[in-house]
Amino acid sequence: MSDHPSISIVIPNYNGQHLLEETIRCAYESLQTSGIIDAEIIVTDDCSSDQSEELVRSCFPEVIFLRHEPNTGFSGNTNRGIKAASKDWILLLNSDVHLSPAYFHSQLHVMKNEKTFGVMGLILDAETKEPQDGAKSANVGFLSIESNKNIFSKEAVLPTFFLSGANALIRRTYMIEIGGFNESFNPYYSEDVDLGIRAWRRGYFLYFQPQSICFHAPSSTIRKLPSEHVRMIAKRNKHFLHFLHLPALFNWLYLGKSMCNALIHLCLGKKLHWKALVSVFRQINNLQQCRRNFSQAHLGIKPLSLLGVKRVISQLLEKQRTDEVRS
Answer whether 20's CB lies under 8 Å from 55's CB.
Answer: yes
> Angle at CA 179, nearest 5°, toward 13 and 183?
50
**Owning domain of residue 149:** 7-216
Predicted confidence at residue 326, as pLDDT, reads 67
In a domain, 57, yes or no: yes
Domain shared by 210 and 251, yes or no: no
Answer whether 140's CB lies under 8 Å from 146's CB.
Answer: yes
Phi, psi of 206 (to 5 degrees): -125, 135
How far is Cα of residue 300 from the mean position of the Cα atoms in its chain? 25
Which H or E run includes 136?
Answer: strand 135-136
Domain shared by 260 and 287, yes or no: yes
Domain shared by 182 and 89, yes or no: yes
**Residue ranges of the chain whose pLDDT lies below 50:** 220
Predicted confidence at residue 56, as pLDDT, reads 97
In a domain, 325, yes or no: no
Predicted confidence at residue 218, as pLDDT, reads 72
Q: Report long-range pairs for 219-224 (Cβ below 8 Å, ≥24 apart).
A: 219/16, 219/19, 219/94, 219/95, 219/96, 221/14, 221/15, 221/16, 222/188
Domain shared by 140 and 274, yes or no: no
Predicted confidence at residue 105, as pLDDT, reads 95
Domain shared by 58 and 125, yes or no: yes
Domain shared by 246 and 189, yes or no: no
What single-letter DSSP state applies at residue 301?
A: P
Phi, psi of 310 (to 5 degrees): -60, -40
pTM given for the model: 0.93
Instruction: Check which CATH number belongs to the domain holding 187 and give it.
Output: 3.90.550.10
Phi, psi of 149 (to 5 degrees): -80, 125
Domain count of the fold of the chain: 2
Q: Where are the alpha helices (DSSP H) in 102-224?
A: 108-111, 172-177, 191-201
Q: What is the pLDDT of residues 18-52, one digit of tens each?
A: 999 999 999 999 999 999 999 999 999 999 999 99
Query: How far, in Å, are 72, 145, 287 from residue 239 at the CA level?
Result: 20, 10, 11
Predicted confidence at residue 320, as pLDDT, reads 83
